[in-house]
């Protein structure tokens, strides 16, 4: 009789644990994931270096209020010659979708550097979205997951709006 009671208690506890896990997976976790979803970008700043010659960095800055204005300082160009252009809201929505696809919200807090490299490349990425959410990531010769894909996407997308000089 005691064996049956102990087995019943174990089965009951396991059943309650399973129900708790299901509730978390079905009701709580999706809300947490949605909270980190990048939507309604207010400000995006992305810069990266490509060597150590003069003007060997590229900067993209996107500011969205009523309209979205992109400011770009291309590689090899002085700061005074940066370009400013309006970006369609549809293109910003595509950007948000791509940033979510690459889980960029998980980059928040990334701040790593390779102390053994003295002449490498670096990046800085900051984004404000959903009124109060932020992502801030920085690195020197170390990159967060999907960095190269995100960099390629941003460069290709934003460079469509740059005028060749």
Which three-class secondary structure string do you get for 8-68? Answer: HHHHHHHHHHHHHHHHHHHHHHHHHHHHCCCCCCCEEEEEEECCCCCCCEEEEEEEECCCE
Cβ(104)–Cβ(127) below 8 Å: yes
Parallel/antiparallel/unpaired status of strands 133-140 and 122-129:
antiparallel
The pLDDT tens digits of the residues spanning 70-129 come to: 999 998 899 999 999 999 999 999 999 999 999 999 999 999 999 999 888 999 999 999
pLDDT range class, residue 33, cuts 50, 70, 90? low
Rounded to an integer, what distance in angstroms lies between the CA atom of residue 134 and that of residue 36? 9
Residue 29 has pLDDT above 70, yes or no: no
164 SS3 class: coil
Q: In whole numbers, what is the pLDDT of the chain averaged over residues? A: 89
pLDDT of residue 8: 79
Parallel/antiparallel/unpaired status of strands 111-113 and 133-140:
parallel
Residue 62, C-beta contacts closer than 8 angstroms, at least 6 positions apart: 41, 43, 44, 45, 68, 69, 70, 71, 87, 92, 158
State the burial class of residue 38 (Cβ atoms within 10 Å of its Cβ: 0-12, 13-18, 19+).
buried
pLDDT range class, residue 162, cuts 50, 70, 90? confident
- Which position has the token pair 């979708």? 97
pLDDT of residue 25: 72
The secondary element (H helix, E strand) that includes residue 113 is strand 111-113
pTM of the model: 0.78
């Amino acid at each position: 009789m005691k064996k049956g009671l102990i087995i019943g208690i174990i089965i009951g506890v396991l059943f309650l644990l399973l129900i708790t896990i299901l509730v978390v997976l079905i009701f709580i976790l999706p809300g947490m994931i949605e909270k980190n979803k990048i939507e309604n970008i207010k400000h995006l700043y992305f810069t990266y270096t490509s060597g150590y010659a003069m003007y060997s960095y590229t900067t993209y800055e996107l500011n969205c209020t009523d309209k979205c204005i992109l400011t770009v300082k291309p590689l090899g160009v002085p700061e005074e010659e940066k370009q400013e252009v309006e970006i369609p809201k549809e293109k910003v929505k595509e950007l948000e979708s791509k940033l979510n696809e690459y889980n960029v919200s998980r980059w928040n807090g990334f701040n790593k550097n390779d102390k053994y490299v003295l002449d490498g490349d670096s990046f800085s990425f900051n984004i404000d979205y959903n009124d109060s959410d932020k992502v801030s990531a920085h690195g020197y010769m170390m990159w967060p997951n999907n960095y190269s894909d995100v960099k390629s996407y941003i460069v290709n997308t934003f460079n469509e709006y740059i005028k060749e000089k």
